[in-house]
Amino acid sequence: MKALPFNHTGYGGLLMQKIQKLIWLPAAALLAACAVQVQPGPSTGLKWYSTCGDPVCGRPNQEPVPNTCGNRVEGQVCSVAGESCDLGNDCNQKLVCASSDPKQQPGGCPISKAVYKQDIHYIGAQERGQLARQLQDLRLASWQYRFEPQGPTRLGFMIDGDTPPSLVKPDGNSVDLYGYMSLAVAAVQEQQDRIQGLEARLLRLEQALEACGDTSPQPKQ
């Protein structure tokens, strides 16, 4: 019996095509599955950003805060918006998972360079005196938070009523510490000017007395 010629159209060719399908189709499916696995997931646009922290770092008697961020670093991609952790430094900074840097948002960290600001107006002596009186008019109070009935007694002032807007954060519920510190600086500068004025006046009086000579009675011999 004569053997069938091996070609792509004959029996041998059909057999080879079936063998190729049995070999290559599973391999192709495996490669496709691997390709799906290595494809990156959709980007959420969330990253770890550091927060401002305290206005003053390393406060006296401050309890150290443990680092709960582990190997997370600023700029690293994160997945849960609003998630945060403590960096464990003396500024009490945190890392927060967000779509933009919270330090650059309204109400974020104070930025002191003039290049970032507009409509700059330096306070004159008369305005500074008005600011000093605003600080004097603040009514100090002690209180406890309702959610801390057994918590410590705190000292400060309430922002209800006629509190200057410069002392209130945009959220309307908390004190703008940067504004409060600036108001205190204005009061200190005003007091220092008054002290220097009184010292200069006292010096002039002493000099006038010296110019009049010593008129005190002489002791008897």
Could you tell me the pLDDT band of residue 33, with boundaries at 50, 70 and 90?
Answer: very low
For residue 166, is pLDDT > 90? no
Distance CA 30, CA 36 (A): 10
Pairing mode, strands 94-98 and 84-86: antiparallel
Contact 98, 81 (CB under 8 A): yes
Bridge partners (DSSP) listed for residue 140: 157
Mean pLDDT for 184-191 is: 94
Distance CA 102, CA 182 (A): 23
Could you tell me the pLDDT band of residue 27, with boundaries at 50, 70 and 90?
Answer: very low
State the average pLDDT for the chain: 79
Which has the minimum average pLDDT: 8-22, 86-100, 124-138, 176-190?
8-22
In sequence order, the 6+-apart residues with CB closer than 8 A to the CB of 111 are 117
Letter string b/e over residues 41-68, b meaning 16 or more CB atoms within 10 A of that residue's CB:
eeeeebbbbbbbbeeeeeeeeeeeeeee
The reported pLDDT for the residue numbered 216 is: 58
| This prediction's pTM | 0.54
Distance CA 181, CA 160 (A): 19
The reported pLDDT for the residue numbered 40 is: 41
Q: Which range in 75-79, 99-103, 162-166 is most confidently predicted, on average pLDDT?
A: 75-79
Q: Which range in 65-74, 96-105, 157-166 is most confidently predicted, on average pLDDT?
A: 65-74
Contact 67, 86 (CB under 8 A): yes
For residue 69, is pLDDT > 60? yes
Each residue of 101-118: pLDDT tens digit?
888 776 667 777 888 788
Distance CA 11, CA 19 (A): 13
Mean pLDDT for 55-76 is: 80
The reported pLDDT for the residue numbered 36 is: 39
> Domain boundaries in the chain?
45-56+65-99, 123-212
Contact 108, 93 (CB under 8 A): no
